[in-house]
Structure 1
């Protein structure tokens, strides 16, 4: 890292930002040192990133407050930048508010450079879930990622939703015997429910990304405790992700490396192991990796690559 830092004058701040569903991670090179900062995303973002144009004012302010100087290059990888149109729109909005070179990309773009890979299909399973690859022109090829209520089946809320449905269907088939599964007791306790009928009502009444997502660790804990239902739910989530990988590769996504990231899959080896097995069964040439660097490392790597293309740290240019 010292050789990298020495390439840039002390007044040039090179900034990478990873905007996730719950937290925003900034990493910058300032005065030859690494500055690292993590804040809740709702500190600056109201709703989704395009819901309030002042989100971009607050993001720009967050960056400049963090680095304490004018950034020469800023690369932001953000959840919710899902098309070329959105990428150009977000880049233009942030560029109007910040000095230097600015680029906004989908947060999945950060994974390959974070892992020092040229091209990869990126599997996200966390607050949301989606699979993102990139075609020969560098355009995103995506599957899922449509939101926790109707899709994102391998996200934290999606896994909880699938588990609730699976438990209720088990009761339909087996009657009260299904409620002896270890998953049932965890559901009843978490939602303060009296029985499966009460659970169905309370689970839906408490429908939110935070509530349903917060229960997901209990599904994995139940699987570890021997729950057949919970294990089948996790296996179905792995199958869903593997099918999405196949879908984006079939539509032109490049690379035989698959990178898994997001709080669910990085924290739960069972999901990662089942996905690895599903991918191996479909295509033995695929190489599966679980992200072992924070995505912001990829944002900073992209910012450094952009800085290397400039004659000086000060030119103002919008990167597409």
Structure 2
């Protein structure tokens, strides 16, 4: 068994095709102490069984992916989206309670892109704010932090109208930091000339709910969603970003989350081992 850094968490997306039981086993076998889960594998087995499996694994729970996608205008589809986010909040609370001590009840929110046929980016962002207002009391009741994740601007049209950490913090500012925070994901924010300033701001406001790391390398994949790389394989300066997050006071688990077809096709144990070693080389020295 390898010796993994105690703050490393493998986000389940990194071994996307593994079912929940396999993901838990592979993570534990790699010596990793924490895992970030996705809703689909959890729902495949059912929440109660998933919670028992997580308990039995002995792993911490670093985040649940994902909620959000609530930029739709008023109507039945928006109502359904908000209801689905409430289910995700319950899942997050249940899994966090079932996991090892030190787990985080954090639900990652991807805001959603422009509704079909719309060019109203300003209105879409306002509907994100409205959705947070609708969900925050329910999240607070369940002890869950809603973590708004800004995505790189290339995803603004179809996945996330929130593109910078500053925008995420602005959206969160009306709410208790324990209820609405932000995700700092290196892939999405490394390019932002204000990123260090905004990480420091997030620390002052107590809103860093999750730190996720992976690398950026060009050329991008034909499907730009699948363009993430192991830390150290691209151009991101993990030293400055990680030091900034540490100085901002974040002391939680750090997820490696990789969307990459080649990585997904590799043996799960090899991916976990490479995740451990790349984290040790590129991120851990700056903690």
Q: TM-score range by the shorter chain?
A: 0.3 to 0.5
TM-score by length of 1: 0.30
User: Which of the pair has more CA radius of gyration?
Assistant: 1
Higher RCO, 1 vs 2 (CA within 8 Å, ≥6 residues apart): 1
TM-score (norm 2): 0.33
